[in-house]
Chain A
Amino acid sequence: MDLSAINPVVLIASLMVAATPILLAGMGELVVEKSGVLNLGVEGMMIVGAVSGFAVAATTGNPYLGMLASIAAGAALAAIFALLTQVLMANQVASGLALTLFGLGFSALVGQSYVGIVPPRTEKLTFGPLTDLPVLGRILFNQDILVYASIALVVAVWYWLRATRSGRVLRAVGENHDSAHALGYKVRRVRVLAILFGGACAGLGGGYLSLIRVPQWTEGMTAGAGWIALALVVFASWRPWRLLGGAYLFGGIMVLQFNLQAAGLRIPVEYLAMSPYLITILVLVVMSSNRARSSLSAPGSLGRSFHAAG
């Protein structure tokens, strides 16, 4: 095995790429859960976003139109979830699962004619002389637009949740929907909007996978990324900056795992490929083992449906 083949600068630059899908999807889910809704359909919304973005980009030849399609597709699937859980009062866990099962089937159906096609390239941004800086240039100033957008999203969500009126209303709805309703906030409207936002983010995360990270369409290509994003929200204790850190940590594990495979570590590939899932479980255990702390940081009304008594 040849560890010298692993270049730390390339490693860091590529871990940011590897982390972006789960960062985007995780940020969306964080907002959804902050509003008191548990949407387990992230995997389904991601894969539908992946296939829609790929299809539009491959047809039009424009990756940015593809990204818009990913956003729209993720939000459209989330709208079904919103209809089920907010209007028709269905169980959130079951509805989320339904979204994932449906999404996996739907994407396989739509994606059939796109297997084996190469999508249009998304160019990396360059910042003139900054990009030519020795180490930092490659890591900070030579990424594609969505890597920057995902970091901007973290900043925006963080600021919005903590410092704006609407962000605080969203948190109030998530902490205690009965009190929020009594104060006159529209619980259902807030939650529907949050769910749509979450779907858009998950869709974009999926689009990033098929358009930039892989870039190709294969059936079931999200391979659990949506579930890892869900775990990431717990890991982050529902805090945006921790989510960023967590996503990059996972990105690092994924990239390292690939690099070790390539470097010819004498462990069968399958066991290395297991590691992201096992580490996710491990992290979940560590984060939730302190009962008092984890119940404090979780939104109070998480997963409970709200029906205004009339």
Chain B
Amino acid sequence: MVNYQIIKYRKLWLIISGSMVVLSILALSIWGLRAGLDFTGGSLLEVKMAGGQPTVTQVQNSLSGVGISSLVVQPTGNNSVILRFQETSQEKHLAVVDALSKMELAKGGMTEVRFESIGTSVGAELRSKSFWVMFLVLLVIILYISLAFNKVSKPVVSWKYGLIAIIALFHDIVITAGIFAILGHYFAVEVNTPFVVALLTVLGYSVHDTIIVFDRTRENLPKSRDSFADTVNHSLNQTFVRSINTTLTVLLSLFAVLIFGGSSVRDFVLALMVGVFCGAYSSLFVASPLLVYFEQWQRRK
């Protein structure tokens, strides 16, 4: 059986991860996430014209008299066009639909495929709710890990496993968010409630993955005659194939949704894929190396 020297190069892995985290934080603080409709409030309208694909200018011209602000028009192909604007009242909605239906291309008929409007107050509320939920999930996970690992105390006490799992989590979430900050800046990818859901799922998944690697270490420690670092490396190798394969099956199923699932879930699935990948990476290359460092620091004291 191959024996990958993961722990030996622990400095390298942590430098890679550390710089990814720093880059992500930079991206987040410079560009920030592009908040979508759910968090800013506003309206989204998708219409399909019977007569053909309308252009951005055509749509903008037809709406010049309606009086809506921050209008963004995005043709989606298939004779459809998505409009975003700030106003959320039913009157404006009807006025916009009315103006669009007077366009030349809509003569043969126009379907209102989708309409969403979210008041500003709801947006602000969703934002604060999202933070609370994240906090709650983290709390519950810390509690569970310290409970599940309470029998392991040598040579690293159980709460430190929990702390490391949380650091790994932080790593996954920050990098996922950072990637979305970059996507938001360059490709106008927006962040909505599904993104928060994806992050929460990643939280669960990442801890799951970390726990499985730690579990093996927990099992091997009492009977191992090797050094702590070697035992951790051995445990990593034992769970290595499993980690790769599990991540692969999850990514395969998500890949199917990414390709066939349609545009409305694409960003959601992308967030999940990035998060799952980070989660798998961090449980192998962040959590266990950190565990070895924790043990070293402890001995030095």
Please determine whether chains A and B interact with each other in the same assembly. Answer: no
